[in-house]
């Protein structure tokens, strides 16, 4: 066979050669094609086929009339999958047509210059374009948020990406197209166009995942705040600078620290900072809400239990909080609310670290650093005997007083700035500014709920504010709910008034109402702090949110209540 790479052959009705050129001058090839032509009555001549048994693989296009057949022959070095596909699937053309017109998966094709060359009908209709409209124009001008031009530049495929187009979220894959010399000749974008139901499901799934990502972002930023130590304590006022100095001094010492201050002043933040600045920072800080400890479970919660210690116990047994805090820190939050009988039970462990798991005689020891916090007035509690003096001495080798926000208004600008940045990062929106007059307004308030309250007001103001700068009016609107925290437009303070059960109420209705009253009462006492409320009630936060959603669903319209 000659070294040509292409040729043409024309055969007459009897298989005789009427014309041959190039690679088709080869007699073996002519005999082969003639045999196929003569056998057409039993095996129809394919319009495209591959000959592999000759010196080199050949692709053959055939066209036949009654009296003659014409063959175009191409040689190639390696088996080309396209030819192989076209030759072996006789509905290959239909498959290609299906791909370029599929209603479920649209395609857009651009050339190496990023000019739109093809757009599936379904995508064209989605963009409300007329047939051929948009073709010949740079793809960026036609398709919203496209990255086909970027794929042309990078040569890297982007698979399964999310793209917003005309207010809809679509899943797209973008792939560069290479020729046989590996040069980028264009790019193709595939867009999933599922049936409406499937699309709805997918878009619901995407928004669910987005919410989940946001939730983890928030958790992460709270963890980051906790792990940042002193940096998490925003403020440079005199009282806060003194507090930071005290933290630096006492953090490395293994002495018990008691943090005192009103609700929302940052006791939790300071406890984390002390732990992070201590030599125990690479070990866990175990947090116990002392107010939420059920007396019946306190021993198993704190000391742990052995296998089979009681009905319902974990079969393998479980370490308690003291054991979990070994080598780390134990943070007893709300310690002023710890019942007297629990204080007695903990005295010895706080003194020397020893304890026994429930159901075991074995003496164990835990080496933890104790940090406690409370917003209660210990003088009066010690005076009236509602807190044990010996217990108080164990927990308060060092006492730090955290200043209320009203004593350090000069910290408010920095706190506001941090809260606005944090809000913007969590919700993926630009950071809002605040007008100087609005800041002065914030500095003039008394903030009974301290930094937590300031944070809530700022976040609400950021939501209400439609411009780029938060004004005094936005603060007013956000602050209207201060003191009686809003729950989905319903004032908790009003809801919290117990509703007397009617004589027709069923047992379930009555217990439901009792539960609602209890939840709302504790929520109000905790100034709207849901985390604390869940802990106080010993229920999970998700259950609390569920109940709150049900409660607000049952409530009368806000207009009737205000």
Ligand X SMILES: Nc1ncnc2c1ncn2[C@@H]1O[C@H](COP(=O)(O)OP(=O)(O)OP(=O)(O)O)[C@@H](O)[C@H]1O
Binding window for ligand X (CB under 6 A); candidates: 177-185, 201-209, 447-455, 481-489: 447-455
Binding residue (CB under 6 A) for ligand X from 139, 269, 309, 475: 269
Strands 168-178 and 184-192: antiparallel
Closer CB to ligand X, 69 or 461, in the complex: 461
The token duo for 57 is 């693989």
268 binds ligand X (CB under 6 A): yes
Q: Which is nearer to ligand X, 369 or 452 (CB)?
A: 452
How far apart, in whole angstroms, are the C-alpha atoms of residue 141 and residue 129? 13
Contact 117, 109 (CB under 8 A): yes
Per CB under 6 A, the segment of 106-114, 232-240, 440-448, 547-555 that binds ligand X is 232-240
To ligand X, the closest distance from the beta carbon of 415 in angstroms equals 6
Q: Which of 114, 186, 261, 336 binds ligand X (CB under 6 A)?
A: 261
**Residue 456 engages ligand X in binding (rule: CB under 6 A):** no
Whether 423 and 462 have beta carbons less than 8 Å apart is answered as yes
Binding mask 338-377 for ligand X (x = CB under 6 A): -------------------------------------x--
Write phi, then psi, for 12 (nearest 5 degrees).
-90, -175
**The only residue of 186, 189, 264, 528 in contact with ligand X, by rule CB under 6 A:** 264
Residues in 477-536 at the binding interface with ligand X, rule: CB under 6 A: 529
Question: Nearer to ligand X by C-beta: 256 or 261?
Answer: 261
DSSP SS3 for 346: helix
Angle at 406 between CA 403 and CA 410, to 5 degrees: 90
Name the minimum Å distance from CB 395 to ligand X: 16
CB of 398 to ligand X, least distance (A): 17
Return the structure tokens found at 84.
């192989």
Three-state DSSP at 34 gives helix
Considering only 147, 267, 364, 394, the residue that binds ligand X (CB under 6 A) is 267
Degrees, nearest 5: CA angle 10-14-17: 30
Q: Is 399 in the site for ligand X (CB under 6 A)?
A: no
H, E, C per residue of 436-483: HHHHHHHHCCCCCCHHHHHHHHHHHHHHHCCCCEECHHHHHHHHCCCC
Candidates 31-39, 61-69, 258-266, 273-281; binding stretch for ligand X (CB under 6 A): 258-266
Query: 37-49 in b/e burial notation, b at 16+ Cβ within 10 A?
Result: beeeeeeebeebb
Min dist CB 265 to ligand X, Å, is: 4
Which CB sits closer to ligand X, 266 or 320? Answer: 266
Give the alpha-carbon dihedral of 453, 457, 462, 466, to 10 degrees: 180
Span 79-108, contacts to ligand X by CB under 6 A: none
In angstroms, what is the minimal distance from the CB of 450 to ligand X? 7
- Applying CB under 6 A, which of residues 114, 189, 229, 266 lies at the interface with ligand X? 266
- Shortest reach from residue 234's CB to ligand X, in Å: 3
- Looking up tokens 């005309």 gives 166
Instruction: Kindly write down the DSSP assignment for every residue of 519-543, as one continuous string.
Output: HHHHHHHTTT-HHHHHHHHT--HHH
For binding to ligand X (CB under 6 A), which residues are involved? 225, 233-235, 261, 263-269, 375, 415, 451-452, 455, 529
């Amino acid at each position: 066979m000659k070294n040509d790479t292409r040729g043409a052959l024309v055969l007459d009705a009897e298989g005789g050669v009427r014309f041959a050129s190039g690679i088709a001058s080869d007699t073996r090839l002519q005999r082969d094609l003639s045999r196929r032509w003569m056998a057409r009555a039993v095996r129809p001549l394919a319009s495209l086929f591959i000959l592999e048994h000759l010196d080199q693989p050949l692709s053959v296009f055939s066209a036949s009339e009654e009296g003659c057949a014409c063959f175009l022959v191409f040689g190639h070095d390696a088996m080309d999958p396209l030819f192989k596909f076209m030759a072996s699937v006789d509905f290959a053309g239909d498959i290609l047509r299906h791909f370029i017109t599929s209603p479920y998966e649209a395609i857009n094709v651009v050339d190496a210059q990023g000019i739109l060359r093809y757009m599936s009908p379904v995508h064209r209709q989605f963009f409300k374009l007329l047939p051929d409209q948009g073709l010949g124009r740079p793809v960026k001008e036609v398709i919203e948020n496209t990255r086909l031009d970027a794929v042309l530049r990078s040569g890297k495929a982007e698979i399964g990406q999310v793209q917003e187009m005309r207010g809809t979220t679509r899943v797209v894959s973008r792939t560069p197209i290479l020729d046989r010399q590996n040069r980028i000749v264009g790019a193709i974008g595939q867009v999933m166009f599922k049936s409406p139901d499937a699309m709805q499901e997918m878009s619901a799934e995407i928004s669910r995942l987005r919410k989940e990502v946001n939730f983890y972002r928030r958790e992460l930023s709270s963890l980051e705040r906790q792990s940042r130590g002193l940096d998490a304590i925003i403020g440079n006022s005199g009282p806060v600078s003194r507090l930071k100095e005290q933290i630096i001094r006492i953090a490395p010492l293994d002495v018990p620290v008691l943090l005192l201050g009103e609700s929302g002043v940052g006791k939790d933040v300071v406890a984390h900072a002390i732990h992070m600045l201590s030599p125990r920072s690479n070990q866990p800080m175990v947090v116990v809400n002392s107010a939420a400890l059920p007396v019946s479970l306190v021993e198993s919660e704190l000391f742990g239990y052995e296998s089979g210690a009681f009905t319902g116990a974990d079969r393998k047994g479980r370490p308690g909080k003291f054991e979990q805090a070994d080598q780390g820190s134990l943070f007893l939050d709300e310690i002023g609310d710890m019942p007297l009988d629990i204080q007695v039970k903990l005295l010895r462990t706080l003194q020397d670290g020893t304890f026994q798991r429930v159901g075991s005689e074995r003496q164990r020891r835990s080496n933890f650093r104790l940090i406690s916090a409370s917003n209660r007035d210990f003088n009066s509690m010690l005076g009236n005997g509602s807190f044990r003096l010996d217990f108080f001495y164990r927990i308060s080798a060092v006492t730090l007083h955290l200043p209320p926000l009203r004593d350090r208004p000069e910290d408010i600008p920095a706190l506001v700035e941090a809260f606005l940045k944090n809000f913007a990062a969590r919700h993926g929106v630009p950071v809002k500014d605040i007008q100087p007059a609005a800041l002065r307004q914030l500095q003039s308030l008394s903030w009974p709920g301290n930094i937590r309250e300031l944070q809530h007001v700022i976040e609400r103001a950021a939501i209400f504010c439609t411009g780029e700068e938060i004004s005094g009016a936005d603060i007013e609107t956000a602050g209207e709910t201060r003191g009686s925290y809003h729950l989905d437009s319903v004032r908790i303070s009003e809801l919290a008034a117990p509703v007397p059960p009617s004589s027709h109420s069923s047992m379930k209705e009555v217990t439901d109402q009792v539960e609602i009253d209890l939840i709302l009462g504790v929520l109000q006492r905790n100034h709207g702090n849901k985390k604390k409320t869940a802990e106080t009630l010993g229920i999970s936060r998700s259950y609390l949110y569920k109940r709150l959603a049900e409660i607000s669903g049952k409530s009368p319209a806000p207009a009737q209540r205000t």
